[in-house]
Structure 1
Amino acid sequence: MGATKRQSGTEQGEEGEEAAAQPRSVRVVLLALMIAMLLAMLDNMIIGTAMPTIVGELGGLAHLSWVVTAYTLATAASTPIWGKLGDLYGRKGIFLTAIVVFLLGSVLSGMAQDMGQLIGFRAVQGLGAGGLMVGVMAIIGDLIPPRERGKYQGMMAGVMALAMIGGPLVGGTITDHLGWRWSFYINLPLGAVALAMVTAVLHLPKKERSKARVDYLGAALLTVGITAIVLVTTWGGTEYAWSSAVIMELVALGVAALVGFLFVEARAAEPIVPLHIFRNRNFTLMSVIGFLTGFVMFGAVLFLPLFQQSVQGASATNSGLLLLPMLLSMMVVSLISGRMTTNTGKYKIFPIIGGGLMVAGLLLLAQMDTGTSRLTSGLYMAVLGAGMGFLMQITMLVAQNSVEMKDMGVASSSTTLFRTLGSSFGVSIMGALFTSRVQDTMAERGGSSVTAQSAQLDAASLAKLPEQVREAYQFAVASGTQAAFLLGGIIAVAGFVAAFFVKEVPLRGAGPQPGPEAQTGGGADPARARVSENA
């Protein structure tokens, strides 16, 4: 009897030690995942600062926009494919492959000898980036039960803030002291650390090689459809008029490809994006809210520094720091809401509060004019940041909780794709409205018009303008910013309304656990997903 008790006590002690070690092991894996996530987010921020130097050396100013467009296209088009491959063949191997592809693209981009090569190699880099973001989200979905995942939301929000604030500063420093090629080579040490850590400490259950054929036709149609959409949003109103033949042809191609994609997916044995996941109301609503959040967020990131530089006279070199009120607010709120989700298991209130704050923040920003102080604009940005903090991670959390484990990859990739497409639409539509308003206002007040390119003068260039023209330009930028944020506020109302229809489904993985037969997926089963520090 005593021996039995001692044995039981020993077993309990071992279980307690294992339970204590588990959070440490998870944190080690999460550190590796956050480094990989930082790679994908930091890249465009760094490269944007280095672009003037790159053009000065390689030439090809006419093709400058393709350096960013090629990366964006490859990322968006490959996102759902990476997610499905992870579901079919195992998350870890596919994620490591994505890191290698990204690093290969980085090396090749740093070695580019002309603009054509750089554009092609940036596409390779974007191909890997699509797998980085999806891999991080899907692996977190495998490792951490939804109820516990809220604890780590602040980490992801912090990485995003670090990329947006630090990217321009790091990019400028590297370009000035080491040369623009190191803007790409800087990815290598970070990528090597991520590769080593993921290989050593991440242990997921091995999947048997799927015998199902990859849905190549569906993948091709989806790629064509996404490419057409991104090109329409990138070129519309800038390279080509919205009513031009090129834009109309792209719209027709995109619609035809996506209709064909839906037809193929409904019949495929192993579809790239299983349509049945959209029958879940919560998943569909999270996709919509994610799209709208992406629309608003990247529009704000584009226009807030522009307003502060052109109207408030801030320095362009510190453009990342200009967003600090919004990003800090987003990070703090994301951390608090995540903790509350973990403690209570409740989450429906957060999309509602977040949607309301996002609408309020955008409408406040739409009131800014030439007399608005930096303190006032900072407070408005903090309101918008708080709204996004409630929404950014909760959309992925609820989406993953709404599907079975076997669909974790496509759930993560679909949610990421909708957010990416939202950002493309947001930058394009808000940008077109901004430029149009600036041109019209300059024509009315200054007797002249400006192009989309000259609507982005920095503080130094502004100081050289005659006072009357400078005042007219500042008024025009303020007017354009008001129009852009007002549109964003109207769009955000749809997300606020959608949040009321979210159904509060209990998050799996904490508290009293349902029986095995009741666990249909979305949470991590410790027997299915493990990490080890000493592997």
Structure 2
Amino acid sequence: MNTAIRSNYKKGFVPFGIAALLVSLIGGFTAVLGPAFVADIGIDYSNTTWISLALAMSTAACAPILGKLGDILGRRTTLLLGILVFTAGNALTAVATSLAFMLAARFIVGIGTAAISPVVMAYIVTEYPPEETGKGFAVYMLISSGAVVIGPTCGGLIMNAAGWRAMMWVCVALCAAVFLICMFTIKKTAFQKKKMTDFDRAGSVLVLIFFSLFLCIPSFGQNIGWSSVQFIAVASVAAVSLICLVFVERKAGSPVFNGQFMARKAFILPVIILFLTQGLMQANMTNVIVFVRYTQPDNVIISSFAISIMYIGMSLGSVIIGPMADKKEPRTVLTFSLLLTGVGCGIMYFFTAESSVAIFAAALGILGVGLGGNATIFMKVALSGLSSEAAGSGTGTYGLFRDISAPFGVAVFVPLFTNGVTSRMTEAVAGGASEGAATLLAAVSSIKTLTVIELGCIVAGIAAVRMLPRIHENN
């Protein structure tokens, strides 16, 4: 189908784009929520980990389930329901009075997010012409990254002026406004709802259990202990649920995980590369901040703009590099964007205790450009050839792997750096160095080791890219 036939696809995307903007903007607003909440109710700062985890668990684990539901109920209905759940979760967050209440509220917010995001991606896959999907995903990434840039600042200003609860009620008001916009602007189509008997209930429950626990494993191991009863219990239940999931999905007539769609190089390889590289997005942002705190404790500038500089780079990468894959072979463009990612990481090798803000900004900014280009093209490649009947489940499945890649990257690379600093400090002090000198030496040495390992991951990612199938057969 050519562009002329789908003449209204850009106009039709507007309400879906607004819904994506809502999720990203509120995500940015609430980046400052965890510390404010735990301080307000007087509990330990470490509990912010569980608040973030509750949201990540439902966002990732529910994505394929609600994507599949979208194939049954239709995009309009699923999107509106998702916004309603998202609104309810934010309202509950605003009135939370205990950690358990907050965790439940953030989990509900994640369910709403998991309903909205696959619908937006499914629209691009099914309504944009194939030669324009790269641009469509670039716009989606620009909306997502751009909103995260301004969100923390806006949220912080509101919170400082009126408190975190007032900030959450502003989020609820935004949700209500977007719900009305989508309800009146998304036209009802001739979509025929399928029977809920086609819905894979058993598979959905097992997906929710396994991937929720899968995300818990690193946090339980690092915060409670790898040999603790809690960690062993979580890991054991996760393993059993995975075995059951494989068995159930083989028997299901319409599984949540579309095996035929997933068993393609165009899906498997981008997912592998996601885990090899995209986790660097949050990990290096955190590691650069920690490095500065070790070496320049009085330098507060990097902490304030680290998030913004990374996401500005991602926004640029998504709109400059991403659309290139509509004309040039995606694996060629991906190789270029991964090389940029490598340059951003490589700059970290030259960090010293006296490094200026400029070199930190260069590392994060260039890394962000590469990651923004990667993320846009991964979506185009992984979701290529997806039928309209399976668009929801396919985009939801991809969304799941995308959403868990970053937390796992953080779980691997942040402890790798911080634990390396601790062990090297101990060695340096034992060798006669003062504590201050040992800290500087350990931080610089650990960031160099981290850089070498990350560059190895990027080389492996480029090797995987070169094995991707061709998308443009005429090139």
Give yes or no for TM over 0.5: yes
Distance of 1:256 and 1:234 partners within structure 2: 19
Q: TM-score, normalised by structure 1?
A: 0.80
- Which among 61, 83, 95 is matched to residue 67 of structure 2? 83
Partner of 2:460: 494
SS at match of 1:186: helix
- Which among 153, 159, 165 is matched to residue 181 of structure 1? 165
User: Is residue 293–residue 391 contact of structure 1 (8 Å, CA) maintained in 2?
Assistant: no
Change (3 A) 1:69 1:403: same
The one-letter code matched in structure 2 to 1:167 is: G
Change (3 A) 1:348 1:121: same
Distance of 1:233 and 1:215 partners within structure 2: 29
Q: TM-score, normalised by structure 2?
A: 0.89
Distance of 1:339 and 1:294 partners within structure 2: 19
Change (3 A) 1:229 1:174: same
Distance of 2:396 and 2:151 partners within structure 1: 25
Partner of 2:209: 224
Partner of 1:273: 257
1:112-152: per-residue Cα shift (whole Å, max 9, x none)?
Answer: 12222122111111111222222221122222123112234
Q: Name whichever structure is richer in helix by fraction.
A: 2
1:255-287: per-residue Cα shift (whole Å, max 9, x none)?
Answer: 221122122111101101111112222122222
The one-letter code matched in structure 2 to 1:386 is: V
Partner of 1:10: none
SS at match of 1:348: helix
Q: Does 1:171 align with 2:147?
A: no
Compute the RMSD of aligned alpha carbons. 2.9
Larger Rg: 1
Distance of 1:220 and 1:392 partners within structure 2: 28
Displacement of 1:325 in angstroms is 4.4
Percentage of identical aligned residues: 24
Distance of 1:32 and 1:320 partners within structure 2: 32
Partner of 1:35: 18
Q: Following superposition of structure 1 onto structure 2, how do residues 438-453 of structure 1 map, counting pairs within 5 Å?
A: 438-445=421-428
The one-letter code matched in structure 1 to 2:39 is: G
Distance of 1:104 and 1:329 partners within structure 2: 33
Partner of 1:435: 418
Change (3 A) 1:33 1:410: same
User: Is residue 66–residue 114 contact of structure 2 (8 Å, CA) maintained in 1?
Assistant: yes
Distance of 2:437 and 2:17 partners within structure 1: 44
The one-letter code matched in structure 2 to 1:34 is: G
Unmatched tracts of structure 2, length 5 or more: none
Partner of 2:144: 160
Change (3 A) 1:104 1:164: same
User: Is residue 369–residue 475 contact of structure 1 (8 Å, CA) maintained in 2?
Assistant: no
User: Is residue 241–residue 247 contact of structure 1 (8 Å, CA) maintained in 2?
Assistant: yes
SS at match of 2:156: helix
Change (3 A) 1:446 1:97: farther
Change (3 A) 1:146 1:338: farther
Change (3 A) 1:36 1:484: farther
Partner of 1:107: 91
Distance of 1:305 and 1:262 partners within structure 2: 41
- Which among 38, 49, 72 is matched to residue 32 of structure 2? 49
User: Is residue 202–residue 248 contact of structure 2 (8 Å, CA) maintained in 1?
Assistant: yes
User: Is residue 82–residue 131 contact of structure 1 (8 Å, CA) maintained in 2?
Assistant: yes
Change (3 A) 1:185 1:293: farther
Q: Following superposition of structure 1 onto structure 2, how do residues 112-511 of structure 1 map, counting pairs within 5 Å?
A: 112-203=96-187, 205-211=189-195, 212-237=197-222, 239-312=223-296, 316=300, 319=303, 321-342=305-326, 344=327, 346-445=329-428, 469-470=435-436, 472-506=438-472
User: Is residue 355–residue 496 contact of structure 1 (8 Å, CA) maintained in 2?
Assistant: yes
Displacement of 1:339 in angstroms is 3.7
1:434-462: per-residue Cα shift (whole Å, max 9, x none)?
Answer: 221122233234579xxxxxxxxxxxxxx
The one-letter code matched in structure 1 to 2:458 is: A
User: Is residue 295–residue 422 contact of structure 1 (8 Å, CA) maintained in 2?
Assistant: yes
Distance of 1:19 and 1:482 partners within structure 2: 53
The one-letter code matched in structure 2 to 1:115 is: L
User: Is residue 290–residue 415 contact of structure 1 (8 Å, CA) maintained in 2?
Assistant: no
Distance of 2:302 and 2:357 partners within structure 1: 14
Partner of 1:6: none
Instruction: Report how many residues are paired.
Output: 469
Distance of 1:142 and 1:314 partners within structure 2: 51
Deviates more, 1:100-109 or 1:26-35: 26-35
Unmatched tracts of structure 1, length 5 or more: 1-17, 449-467, 512-535
Change (3 A) 1:76 1:341: closer
1:467-517: per-residue Cα shift (whole Å, max 9, x none)?
Answer: x6555444444444444443333323332111001111249xxx9xxxxxx
User: Is residue 51–residue 103 contact of structure 2 (8 Å, CA) maintained in 1?
Assistant: yes
User: Is residue 124–residue 137 contact of structure 2 (8 Å, CA) maintained in 1?
Assistant: no
Q: Following superposition of structure 1 onto structure 2, how do residues 17-36 of structure 1 map, counting pairs within 5 Å?
A: 26-36=9-19
Change (3 A) 1:126 1:429: same
